Structure 1
């Protein structure tokens, strides 16, 4: 008999009874499980960056990023001017066949301040070419002969020596000449014309040639 009035046998009975209650409760839970609590969804970071974050172009599905502004008539005049600047020869096609007018159209159509200013200059210059061609030869620029086109371009091809009445046209020509050169010489045809082969892996590297070492006083 313990000091609490419960002997050893009664204590064992209580322990056994408690064990039975636990087993019964476990069996009841197995037969009638409590509804599972829904797992809260994992928080994920947004895939899109802040406004203004640049993205890589989708090269598998290329698309025009902005509407093109030059009209078909303007592009026809531009194509003839581009070919006047970089004509076809035995080594390469002319600038128009290489796609330069489309490049210039994309450039001046971009929705940025600098390009919007250039669009005004290009459009004004193309209109001026046709007006000047009509005054001199009675036909639009695209229908002039090579000699007639050269006569007009000679008056506007070098800004420092252009007459005052040709200053604005000379600025237009300067812009188109730069864009034509950039557009043409970044095409495959233009790179071949420059004999640019790019980065070519060398099977071996023997160091600087002897002539170079001698020139530097290192031989």
Structure 2
């Protein structure tokens, strides 16, 4: 089992995807500006949409922090032959939104990135995002397994665990992640009718007409229709 398959069992629920917001340039008319983007989803009322727009317009993580998040996300969930990496699925934007929408993540994420850079500088004299992939994975291996982490690295373990949870939430609630899971949504089930032995026990049987209409698997996706007298047509 590869890393991607093993991580599928760790899903947690949340909203998916953040979008970039652009403001009006000086002298630009409002109608010339792109509409304020909104989060995907159905059934959101105006109050919720206004909240989303406000959060999307805020800035918290700086460029360096976002680049570090991108590197770490793709280490946690890299691309494979069939699907892209976490950052390809928009997980960085997702985390950026969540950090602004749920402020209790802000200090742990910012502090965790600072810790990661400090530890990287201590080992390799460079920021985490500038290390080689081998060096980055070496650091992650030291903080990725709760219960096996050295006491002095526990702050890093807590940060990595948070990042792993956010990465999996963002990825597996994205369009790419849903396809990766193979989730097809609600699909018609197969019903072959009441078992023959049960029918025999009660001395009943299906009328051929109803049997053809109700237990014909070639029509399992058809929507039932009735005539004005209540007779089943399909």
Q: TM-score, normalised by structure 2?
A: 0.58
Match of 1:206 among 157, 177, 191: 191
Contact 1:68/1:106, CA 8 A, preserved across alignment: no
Pair 205,161 (structure 1): closer, same or farther in 2 beyond 3 Å: same
Any gaps of 5 or more consecutive residues in structure 1?
Answer: 1-53, 211-219
Corresponding residue SS for 2:53: coil
Which residue in 2 is equivalent to 1:167? 154
Q: For 1:46-61, list aligned pairs within 5 A.
A: 55=46, 57-58=48-49
Distance of 1:98 and 1:89 partners within structure 2: 13
Contact 1:77/1:126, CA 8 A, preserved across alignment: yes
Deviation at residue 198 of structure 1 after TM alignment: 1.4
Deviation at residue 65 of structure 1 after TM alignment: 2.8
1:65 paired with 2:55, answer yes
Q: For 1:11-160, list aligned pairs within 5 A.
A: 55=46, 57-58=48-49, 63-65=53-55, 67-110=58-101, 115-160=102-147
Q: Give a deviation string over 1:27-82, Cα, whole Å, max 9, x none.
A: xxxxxxxxxxxxxxxxxxxxxxxxxxx755449xx734351311111000000000
Contact 2:73/2:87, CA 8 A, preserved across alignment: yes
Corresponding residue SS for 1:96: coil
Which residue in 2 is equivalent to 1:20? none
Which residue in 2 is equivalent to 1:179? 166
Corresponding residue SS for 2:185: coil
Distance of 2:192 and 2:174 partners within structure 1: 32
Q: TM-score, normalised by structure 1?
A: 0.62
Contact 2:55/2:100, CA 8 A, preserved across alignment: no
Distance of 2:141 and 2:184 partners within structure 1: 34
Distance of 1:156 and 1:190 partners within structure 2: 25
Deviation at residue 205 of structure 1 after TM alignment: 3.5
Tell me which structure has the larger Cα radius of gyration.
Answer: 1
Q: Across the two proteins, how many residue pairs are aligned to each other?
A: 149
Distance of 2:151 and 2:100 partners within structure 1: 29
Q: Give a deviation string over 1:147-202, Cα, whole Å, max 9, x none.
A: 111110011112222111111110111011000000000111111111111123x3
Q: Tell me which of the two structures has the higher relative contact order, counting C-alpha pairs closer than 8 angstroms and 6 or more residues apart.
A: 2
Any gaps of 5 or more consecutive residues in structure 2?
Answer: 1-44, 196-234
Q: Tell me how large the CA RMSD over aligned residues is.
A: 2.4
